[in-house]
Amino acid sequence: MERTRDNPWLHRYAILVAFSTFILIIAGALVTSNDAGLSVPDWPTTFGTFRMPRMVGGVLFEHGHRMIAGTVGILTIILAIWLWLKESRGWVRWLGMVSVGAVIAQAALGGITVLFYLPVAISVSHAALAQIFFCLNFSLALFTSQGWQWGEPSAEDAALPSLRLLAPATTVAILIQLILGAAYRHGGLGIVPHMVGATVVSLLSAWMVARVFLRFSCQPRLVRAAMLLLGLVLVQVFLGVGAYVEKLRYRDAVQPLPPVVQTTTAHVALGALVLIASLYFTYQVYRAIASQGPELLTHRGSAPEGARV
């Protein structure tokens, strides 16, 4: 399989970009958690100028978010240029360009959100694209790591649905769940759809982990990735319950109080990590498990072959 010559500095820089993107998600969550979305009521200027405002109150969160977003945008453009010059795999180079397109679209959505006074549809789209952008930059950091290559899968999965279908379906379900959470945070939906989504994600994650331990326990990469995903999902469920309890506890407060801000922001940040963990698990599934061909489908009732390596 095609792979690039190892470039450790490119990989380290890609990690920096991915980590910076995660910080950007936290900064965005702080804006929403503190109800600071319109603390700076214009865009791309700040109170009519491009000068640094006084970083106090909601301005600290809103303008700070813009500054971090601008920095991440520049870092992403540099990464794309570096990939284009040094990366031998064409699809990785183009993935870098897609990431640049995503950050530009994200900036535009952020500006529209302010200019049109936080419309729910645009605000939720802004939050959803942030998660997709994080996935893109995480993928670039992973694909530029030393020794990464898809290779030839050595295990077979005769069960239906196969993990090659179940893993990406779970990742999509987590993304939808994050969108439902954003809709709840921005006042577009109640809590019930988000709770239903959490239940679906938890069941899918548990199902995948059980499949891995029953059929692929001799695949350490799959086992580690599955355990990471399940652990994060469990913590996220408890954190979500805690965030909702804190929100109910202080529902009559004039402004968001620290317990609400801290738990809701942590819940958003951990949700992003759950999505990344599921994406990582999906990549490992596609590296380790062969696709189901006619021969596998014909003999799916025979003895499990998933542990064959």
Phi, psi of 289 (to 5 degrees): -115, 130
Q: How far apart are CA 91 and CA 85, in angstroms?
A: 13
Please report which residue ranges of the chain form alpha helices under DSSP H: 8-33, 57-86, 90-115, 120-143, 163-185, 191-215, 220-249, 258-288, 294-298
Q: How far apart are CA 257 and CA 181, in angstroms?
A: 20
Reported as a single tens digit per residue, the pLDDT across 105-161 is 999 999 999 999 999 999 999 999 999 999 999 999 999 998 787 777 677 877 788
The pair of three-digit structure tokens given for residue 51, joined into one six-digit string: 């000068």
The pair of three-digit structure tokens given for residue 102, joined into one six-digit string: 């995503």
Task: Examine residue 304 and say whether the peptide bond preceding it is cis (omega within 30 degrees of 0).
Answer: no
The pair of three-digit structure tokens given for residue 268, joined into one six-digit string: 């958003």
Surface-to-core class of residue 5, CB atoms within 10 Å of its CB (0-12 exposed, 13-18 middle, 19+ buried): exposed
The pair of three-digit structure tokens given for residue 189, joined into one six-digit string: 């939906």
What residue type is 34 in one-letter code? N
Q: How far apart are CA 240 and CA 154, in angstroms?
A: 38
Section 193-214 average pLDDT: 94
The pair of three-digit structure tokens given for residue 8, joined into one six-digit string: 């450790």
List, in order, residues 6 or more apart from 185 with CB less than 8 Å away.
Answer: 32, 127, 264, 268
Whole-number pLDDT of residue 293: 54
List, in order, residues 6 or more apart from 59 with CB less than 8 Å away.
Answer: 36, 39, 40, 53
Section 167-191 average pLDDT: 95
Section 278-293 average pLDDT: 87
Which stretch of 10-24, 32-46, 143-157, 179-193 has the lowest confidence by average pLDDT?
143-157
Q: Is-contact 185 264, C-beta < 8 A?
A: yes
What Rg, from alpha-carbon coordinates, does the chain have? 21
pTM listed for this prediction: 0.91
Q: How far apart are CA 264 and CA 126, in angstroms?
A: 17
pLDDT band at 239 (very low <50, low <70, confident <90, very high): very high
pLDDT band at 292 (very low <50, low <70, confident <90, very high): low
